[in-house]
Amino acid sequence: MTSATPNNFSSDDSGAARYGRAGEMSTQDAPMNEGTPKVERLYLDFDSFFASAEQHFNAELRGRPLGVVPLDSPHTSCIAVSREAKARGVKSGATIRAVRQVIPDMVFVIARHDAYVRLHKRILAVIGTILPVERVRSIDEVLCHLTPSEAAQGRALADRIKTALAGAFSPALTCSIGMAPTELLAKIGAEMNKPDGFALIGAEDLPGCLSNLDLRDLPGISKGIGARLAAAGVEDIDALWRLAPKQARKIWGNVEGERFWNELHGIHAERPETKKSMYGHGRVLPRDSRTPDKVEACARQLLLSATRRLRRDNQRATELTLGFRGGRGAEDGRWTWRDTFPAARDDRTFMRALSEGLREARRTLRFSPQAVSVTIHGVVSDAEITGDLFGGTLEAGADTASREKWETVSDLMDTLRKSHGAKALSLGVQDEVFGGYVGAKIAFGRIPDEADFSEAATADEETHFLSF
């Protein structure tokens, strides 16, 4: 999110940062109605996490412009940049070539997802000494629920967390903290004064403290929702604030619009627990990995990673989708193939389906793939499977005994991999895929388990520099 500086930054007697409308006195000491939302959420957002992690691991990188890239390739782009690089105009997503034109001395390192996950777990342990962690939103974002006594501490509580983190980690690793009545507002507060910032947003500060923000700065305002808001004549924060809840619901097209309205106005909106509906992985392919054999090898490894996650969650799936992206024209840039089958959890069923899809791709694909994705969906638990469905066959002539045999084989391979390493055993050829971390890359909202990593663990200090 683009950072923004709110109007009239001030401080109350407790040291908590607060915000008010331009030209107005703060209402923080005014009596509040009983129904006024109270500060109940703390959102912690680490600054430039991947880049900061590498600077934490390697002291020689501190203070230097740094970019983290996914692959050891001259054609890749930055997935994260340090605050020093941001200060010189470089943003995440910039290509290596473009960055070197702006900052010739920029340092590039290759992402080490296993190291970041280990660091994340150590961070959670430190935060837990001050506050219980309610939700982990991503590798670098954490939500905590506040009791009234904790909320009353304001900045002092945030400083305690930062002090604990500073005592456990290097100065390179910093976080920004927001406190507010709702998660949405707390997240906005955490992003207002990056890096190493703090903001406390009370109900009495709204909406003035948000007036300097663009609609696109608000979490939950996607490009599509932004277009819908613009079509409805909502072009700034004030107009968004004046919407009625039902109007927001209509613009969003579902109840999420009303939930957003409530959260924005300081009213906590409960969200039902969502059931996982798919398991999948994708991969952008380096230029020298776009041959048919290498593409297919990558697809197989992506699938096997997804099926192992499926089994760990005690789920089955009934569909598989194989997708390729590439080409230059609007019509030939995407290719998708889909298969359905009785609910399965064994590698053999999924690999047979994928093989059929790959054969179809060889026959009909009209462009060289630049990216591949494999997804298994139609997820069901054993309890949800009806007798007819459960008694279905995996293939012509197969029976329940055959299916159970292959499920046992898959479970056994999982057990051996857990004991002897992720590469100890595999169904079929286990090809090496350029760039590593196949199916084990950190994504928004997903943190891989240690069992997802097939490569040998990297030591914290084992910085992987770009060789180009």
Task: Read off the pLDDT of residues 72-84 as tens digits, 9 standing for 90 and up.
Answer: 888 889 999 999 9
- Token pair of 58 as six digits: 């390697």
How many other CB atoms sit within 10 Å of the CB of residue 52?
A: 28
Beta strands at 175-180 and 198-200: parallel, antiparallel or unpaired: parallel
pLDDT at 430: 65
Residue 267 lies in a domain: no
Angstrom distances, CA of residue 87 to CA of 3, 102, 378, 429: 12, 12, 45, 47
* CA-closest candidate to residue 353, choices 341, 365, 345: 341
47-76 per-position pLDDT tens digit: 999 999 999 999 999 999 999 999 888 888
CA distance 361 to 143: 43
Q: Which residue stretches of the chain have pLDDT < 70?
A: 1-35, 327-332, 385-401, 417, 419-440, 454-456
Looking at residue 234, what is its pLDDT? 96
The pLDDT value given to residue 32: 40
Residues in the chain: 468
The total domain count for the chain is 1
Q: Does the residue 329 lie in any domain?
A: yes
Is residue 102 within 8 A of residue 89, CB to CB? The reply is: yes
**Residue 407 located in a structural domain:** yes
CATH code, domain carrying 391: 3.30.1490.100
Q: In whole angstroms, give the CA distance from residue 151 to residue 42.
A: 9
Contact assessment for residue 70 and residue 89, using Cβ atoms and an 8 Å cutoff: no
Structural domain contains residue 21? no
Range of the domain at 300: 278-435
What average pLDDT is seen over the chain?
Answer: 85
Q: What is the pTM of this model?
A: 0.80
pLDDT score of 435: 64
3-state helix, strand, coil in the chain (%, to 5): 40, 20, 45
The answer to the question of residue 286 being in a domain is yes
Q: Which parts of 27-153 are beta strand (E)?
A: 41-46, 66-69, 80-81, 107-110, 135-138, 141-145
